[in-house]
Structure 1
């Protein structure tokens, strides 16, 4: 449903379309029409959040900074729309982003990949602001769009805007991993948050030859898109694509705090050295991080700058998702080729990381596009490289 816009808003939309085309190339006409017709700023809260330059987030209020707020609303970038799951931050603890509006170029890229046709039924996991659902409704018809949001406040806000701008979209407050069986089966399911797997419920709610598109997550790294096709038996198979970083589904976050839940004063770690740089495995190489996430499915990492230790400039922590084992790798900042390693617990995590890195290098440092995933109707996942028969086995005992 087209909405009247001011000249300033119209200029902002035109600028956004130009920016999306600069990233994605020529837009399919129907998605360009959707972006032009469904005003992004109407879906955003009056207060959004921007990085403050000190590792945290600062509010930007439309009522006091309208020009900057509107410019941000139509910038081709993601926007943090909620912090701390909507709750005040603890004293002395920086606000963390808990919901966001994805960058429009990524939104349109995913919609183009999904390629739903008018009249088809689509289930969206993660309503967020509702803008993505609004774009789908513009192309498919609002009655063909169902969206599930776990946060009741966000669900209510999105439902109100959608009811005004694209009436007929079904917004459900609930756990997206359960889908919404009342309107199943769906031709397509898409998630707008990172999932670390596709549930049996979502497979069961997808039609044969239907598709599921989701950003991918592992505790080690959030990166990539998984595009699956469901077969006549309820199994699914597809490939990864090397795009985008999304927030994790709330039920799939690693809820541990390093010094509260994992590392304790009475731990006595084993000491060793390594020639593998911690920043090779947990730096800016997303191909490496993605591959290690598949190979180390229950490990997560965090960088610790200036840890207040003699001769240590940076430290990489690695831990299991259950907090039972950890490793710390120290970097003295002198560009040495040897790093000190500390390991504690029943598993030697840095040894596992080293084995995964060796696999990555031995297989030609594969990018995400070489990987695929097979998911059976019961929710069992099996990653593979290049072809389904080449199973990628985790380098740990985890499943």
Structure 2
């Protein structure tokens, strides 16, 4: 007989599995259906989560005071913010920014499916978060085969409590995931639940030849893409796919702001014109932004609506991560053929962006799956179609 107390939970799990199957264009593999059913998602969420509000910010939702809304959010195929501001108190809701989350179940299943794990394999997870992903792996692989690293002690404690309550044997470490965990290597698989801007060599060293490293990708232009590397004796190599947007690994973060760090009062920029619309390299043009991000490497953008300049309705800022060079492209809000450009610093940044965009067009608008990455102990480089065709100079 079915316990009536668990009927809402079971119905929610079935609904989630249907939603994930629709997102993946096919049923959830049986082994992951069993894992999700055995480790319900809501049991790995903290009592307070943060949901988006109508103003584009986040507001708390507590299990104790808003159970139905909290439970409904737990079984939607969407990410859930579980920590804001690295756990520090926020002075106002508008100041809240997400620092830890539970990933959307469909991308969780997609990554686990791509990881191609089998019982008995040893897996290292970078970024424990709520512990749900580690729980799914532990259910699939068996006792003592999953090691997970979480840099945030409070997040780590919550995950440990949830895993312990579920009776799952995961070796949970509070530490820097970019260093891996050499005490239990070699691993058959390493999976990261945070995005990176370069691959830590420690991950490659700690993975056995023939093993897989799977991680979300980020570049300053765009946080998007999933990278799957196969490890060889002295290198790792693999391709991107157009999935996932994860929070950046904490020691890969950069806190840059245009008017605080880049543009200074004494700058005297050069003026020119462009016919490349600024929105062609930002906004929803994800595939172009992904390619430009690989090509340019250290360039980021920011929009400024109504900048308070006569004749300018919107302005696109482009800057380097060392804050030494910047460009601004102005749109007057009327015509879409010519745009005023301002450039300052040792690099003509908008000229570089324009050249990179022409390169993307010349190569038939390549999507992320045409790009790959090769990693060695001394360097790593992105390439288009094949490793012998680098996108730019080797990454630092």
Higher mean alpha-carbon deviation, 303-312 vs 290-299, is at: 303-312
Q: How does 1:28-67 map to 2 (within 5 A)?
A: 28-67=29-68
Cα–Cα, structure 1 residues 166 and 196, in superposed 2: closer, same or farther, change >3 Å?
farther
Measure how far apart 1:311 and its partner are.
Answer: 2.1
Measure how far apart 1:265 and its partner are.
Answer: 1.6
Q: How does 1:373-392 map to 2 (within 5 A)?
A: 373-378=373-378, 380-392=379-391
What SS does the corresponding residue of 1:6 show, helix, strand or coil? Answer: helix
Structure 1 Cα separation of the partners of residues 90 and 295 of structure 2: 35
Higher mean alpha-carbon deviation, 355-364 vs 264-273, is at: 264-273
- Whether 1:252 aligns to 2:248 is no
What SS does the corresponding residue of 1:98 show, helix, strand or coil? Answer: strand
Displacement over 4 Å in runs of 4+: 90-93
What SS does the corresponding residue of 1:311 show, helix, strand or coil? Answer: coil
- Whether 1:208 aligns to 2:189 is no
TM-score by length of 2: 0.96
Measure how far apart 1:93 and its partner are.
Answer: 5.5
Structure 2 Cα separation of the partners of residues 319 and 61 of structure 1: 40
Structure 1 Cα separation of the partners of residues 331 and 58 of structure 2: 28
- The residue number in structure 2 matching 1:135 is 136
Structure 2 Cα separation of the partners of residues 125 and 317 of structure 1: 33
How far does the alpha carbon of each residue in 1:87-113 deviate from its partner, in whole angstroms, 9 at most, with x for none? 123569621111111100000000000
Measure how far apart 1:274 and its partner are.
Answer: 0.8
Q: Is the 8 A contact 1:137 1:166 kept in 2?
A: no
Runs of 5+ consecutive residues of structure 2 not aligned to the other structure:
none
Measure how far apart 1:316 and its partner are.
Answer: 1.2
Cα–Cα, structure 1 residues 27 and 200, in superposed 2: closer, same or farther, change >3 Å?
same
Runs of 5+ consecutive residues of structure 1 not aligned to the other structure:
none
Measure how far apart 1:52 and its partner are.
Answer: 1.4
- The residue number in structure 2 matching 1:262 is 262
Q: How does 1:148-227 map to 2 (within 5 A)?
A: 148-227=149-228
Q: Is the 8 A contact 2:57 2:93 kept in 1?
A: no
Query: How many equivalent pairs are there?
Result: 393
Structure 1 Cα separation of the partners of residues 210 and 71 of structure 2: 41
Cα–Cα, structure 1 residues 262 and 76, in superposed 2: closer, same or farther, change >3 Å?
same
Higher mean alpha-carbon deviation, 239-248 vs 107-116, is at: 239-248
What SS does the corresponding residue of 2:149 show, helix, strand or coil? Answer: strand
Q: Is the 8 A contact 1:149 1:174 kept in 2?
A: yes
CA RMSD of aligned residues (A): 1.7
Measure how far apart 1:306 and its partner are.
Answer: 2.1
Q: Is the 8 A contact 1:134 1:166 kept in 2?
A: no
Structure 2 Cα separation of the partners of residues 4 and 267 of structure 1: 69
